[in-house]
Amino acid sequence: MSAPQIVWLRRDLRLADQPAFHAAAQAGPVIPVYVLDDETAGDRAIGGAARWWLHHSLESLSRSLAQRHSRIVLRRGDAVRELAKLVEETGAEAVHALRHYEPWWRKAQGKLAGQVDLRLYDGNYLMPPGAVTTNGGDPYKIYTPFAKAVLDYMPPRECLPEPETLHSPDRWPDSDDLADWNLLPTRPDWSGGIAAFWQVGEAAAHERLEEWSGDVAAYADARNQPSQDGSSRLSPHLHWGEISPAQIWHRLDGRRGEGWATYAKELIWRDYAQNVICQFPGYASESYRDGYAGLWRNPNRGHLIAEELQAWQRGMTGYPIVDAGMRQLWQTGWMHNRVRMIAASFLVKHLLIDWRHGERWFWDCLVDADFANNAVNWQWVAGTGVDSNMFVRIMAPLSQSEKFDAAGYIREYVPELADLPDDQIHDPPDDCRGDYPVKVVGHREARERALSAWRAAKEEG
């Protein structure tokens, strides 16, 4: 029998359109491996809600593999060390993996390539970062010309089928037991709402795509309405690689119209974010525009900031749309995109709290927490990114709530306000709030404070 081939799984937990599986299956018996590595990513180890997803996704992929008389070998520790050990133990010829672009994975890939025959493939993005460049040959920093350049190359490559057969090795190496990894919360178990909201795994991703494919025509408007199921909700499936963007593209392309055109551009945002972190690996912790250092320094507000940050995290700011979003995040591990923008803007501008606190909270609470997407969007909202909204454009949460008809959404996630009529629910009068808190800061006051902090920071340089 030919030498085994290791498939190193990370955020690519699928069988179809998975080039590493495809290549390995053609080369010999396949040993799929997932290494739970809390060391290599440093302070970017997988967050709480994402660990919940990972558990179920590994379980789902294991079931699919079992139907093919295969399995996943689970190991824990430094991924490079564990994979090099496994190659030695099994006599594997090569390690096949999808290329990942988070800075820690790029380093690990380089290190592993020095020790074993590492074969890397692209497959989690429409195009690999760096595939399109400006006329001068530089990577794009700004989304709009990047998107235009990517669109010129679309549609993406054809999708690969699932491997027809997966041969097993003569002997399976030892594996950890998934349950021993304790990826699921226990004391307390806060995952009930998440479990009720999501179906995890490759089959569930395709079911969701099928269910949603009829709605893409309405996407351009519906995606902004948090009370509607108007967006695809594919983000955790995409993040964990249970489905590829090429599969989505080929399934939905041909549905001409504004809905599809808008949706395609959102998929390209995902590629853009990878393109940004490849250029700026410190993007999740460093602001990329000058003049912001003083803005969130707040020397006299330390105590207040801790309290206000907690009010924001718990959905108790007194702004119903913000609180509905923050509670949706806590309950389901996901938040509607329009509301993510409103809640993020509220933190950095109304509360004048550094965007990095918000980025961290999202990292821990989102099932789709993604190093690139999270950092790029936080910096976009905060105004600090290489391409971003201007800080002085301050979103008004109360009018956004009305404009995008969030009454149903607020009733769902802020039950204290469920009985209020539509004309009161976006901004309830103080005497109609019952147990629901009054506003942590008034909108006009917050706006003026943010603008004057901005002017002061600019003067300071």
Ligand X SMILES: Cc1cc2nc3c(=O)[nH]c(=O)nc-3n(C[C@H](O)[C@H](O)[C@H](O)COP(=O)(O)OP(=O)(O)OC[C@H]3O[C@@H](n4cnc5c(N)ncnc54)[C@H](O)[C@@H]3O)c2cc1C
Q: Among residues 237, 228, 238, 300, which one has the least CA distance to residue 269?
A: 238
User: What is the helix (H) or strand (E) element at residue 56, kind and residue range?
Assistant: helix 48-67
Q: Do the annotations mark residue 369 as ligand-binding?
A: yes
Give whichever of 8 and 212 is closer to ligand X, judged by the CB atom.
212
Q: Among residues 280, 284, 287, which one has the least CA distance to residue 139?
A: 280
Q: Do the annotations mark residue 58 as ligand-binding?
A: no
Minimum distance of ligand X from residue 269's CB (angstroms): 4
Q: Could you tell me if 316 and 323 are in contact, meaning their C-beta atoms sit under 8 angstroms apart?
A: yes
Asked if 369 is part of the footprint of ligand X (rule: CB under 6 A), the reply reads: yes
Asked if 262 is part of the footprint of ligand X (rule: CB under 6 A), the reply reads: no
Bridge partners, residue 34, by sequence: 9, 74
Asked if 224 is part of the footprint of ligand X (rule: CB under 6 A), the reply reads: no
Sequence letter at residue 447: R
Options 10, 206, 239, 327; binder of ligand X; rule CB under 6 A: 239
Options 191, 354, 368, 425; binder of ligand X; rule CB under 6 A: 368
Q: Could you tell me if 118 and 16 are in contact, meaning their C-beta atoms sit under 8 angstroms apart?
A: no
Q: Do the annotations mark residue 370 as ligand-binding?
A: yes
**Which of the stretches 76-84, 112-120, 339-347, 441-449 binds ligand X when contact is defined by CB under 6 A?**
339-347
Find the helix packing angle between 48-67 and 355-365, rounded to 10°. 30
* Length of the chain as a residue count: 461
Give whichever of 269 and 436 is closer to ligand X, judged by the CB atom.
269
Minimum distance of ligand X from residue 379's CB (angstroms): 9
Asked if 202 is part of the footprint of ligand X (rule: CB under 6 A), the reply reads: no
Bridge partners, residue 118, by sequence: 95
Minimum distance of ligand X from residue 146's CB (angstroms): 12
Asked if 341 is part of the footprint of ligand X (rule: CB under 6 A), the reply reads: yes
Give whichever of 4 and 230 is closer to ligand X, judged by the CB atom.
230
Asked if 381 is part of the footprint of ligand X (rule: CB under 6 A), the reply reads: yes
Asked if 340 is part of the footprint of ligand X (rule: CB under 6 A), the reply reads: yes
Give whichever of 116 and 342 is closer to ligand X, judged by the CB atom.
342
**Which of the stretches 53-61, 122-130, 188-196, 225-233 binds ligand X when contact is defined by CB under 6 A?**
225-233
CA 77, 81, 85: angle at the middle one, nearest 5? 110
User: What is the helix (H) or strand (E) element at residue 375, kind and residue range?
Assistant: helix 371-382
Asked if 233 is part of the footprint of ligand X (rule: CB under 6 A), the reply reads: yes
Give whichever of 308 and 370 is closer to ligand X, judged by the CB atom.
370
Burial of 150 per CB tally in 10 Å (0-12, 13-18, 19+): buried
The two structure tokens encoding residue 394: 């301050």
Q: Residue holding tokens 């990292």?
A: 363
Which whole-number Å values give the CA distances from 314 to 22, 29, 311, 331, 413, in the listed order? 45, 50, 5, 11, 12
Asked if 366 is part of the footprint of ligand X (rule: CB under 6 A), the reply reads: yes
- The footprint of ligand X on residues 30-69 (CB under 6 A) is none
DSSP-assigned letter for residue 65: H
Torsions phi, psi of 121, nearest 5?
Answer: -130, 155
- The footprint of ligand X on residues 266-305 (CB under 6 A) is 266-267, 269-270, 273
Torsional class of 315: left (φ above 0), alpha (ψ -120 to 50), beta (otherwise): left
Minimum distance of ligand X from residue 375's CB (angstroms): 8
Q: Do the annotations mark residue 235 as ligand-binding?
A: yes
Minimum distance of ligand X from residue 268's CB (angstroms): 8
Residues that bind ligand X (CB under 6 A): 223, 231-235, 238-239, 266-267, 269-270, 273, 337, 340-341, 344, 362, 366, 368-370, 373-374, 377-378, 381
Cite the annotated binding site for FAD by residue number: 219, 231-235, 263, 368-370
